Amino acid sequence: MPYKDKNKRVEYAREYALKNRTYIYARTTQWRHNNKEKYLAQKNNYLNRIKEEVLTHYGNGKLACVRCGFADIRALSIDHIAGGGKRHSREIKCRITVWLKSHNFPGGYQTLCMNCQFIKKLENREQPRI
């Protein structure tokens, strides 16, 4: 039912979704099954955009390591400044980038390249030496 008023449209869509939850879930699942490549491409695009946004936020406005300035996104990651990243990852049970964005970019994180992150772990004795 097309409503000209945006609030009425939103309310109608919300009510429809609640009433037809199982039908919508089944239809969505079927679409994902029939369009695997397209679904995965959309999902990866979405996750890459979130990763870039989060790394830029925690890289002080730049998509680069805060220690050395390395700027290749393939080697950049989020670092817990105070340590404890492995434990935190187990608790949240989702990608850290998605969690950070959904929690409005809390403090205590930084963007580091994998080399700087490994060096920091060794310097702070956050993981046993080999």
What is the domain partition of the chain in residue ranges? 35-123
> pLDDT digit string (tens) for 82-113?
888 888 889 998 999 999 999 999 999 999 99
The pTM (predicted TM-score) of the whole model is 0.78
CA triple 114-69-112, angle to 5 deg:
30
Q: Tell me the angle at which helices 21-34 and 36-58 cross, rounded to the nearest 10 degrees.
A: 100
Contact 111, 58 (CB under 8 A): yes
Contacts 24+ apart (CB under 8 A), 25-34: none
pLDDT tens by residue, the chain, 130 residues? 577 889 999 999 999 999 999 999 999 999 999 999 999 999 999 999 999 999 999 999 999 999 999 999 999 999 999 888 888 889 998 999 999 999 999 999 999 999 999 999 888 887 655 5
Rounded Cα distance, 93 and 35, in Å: 26
The DSSP-derived string for 10-25 is HHHHHHHHHHTHHHHH
DSSP character for 107? S
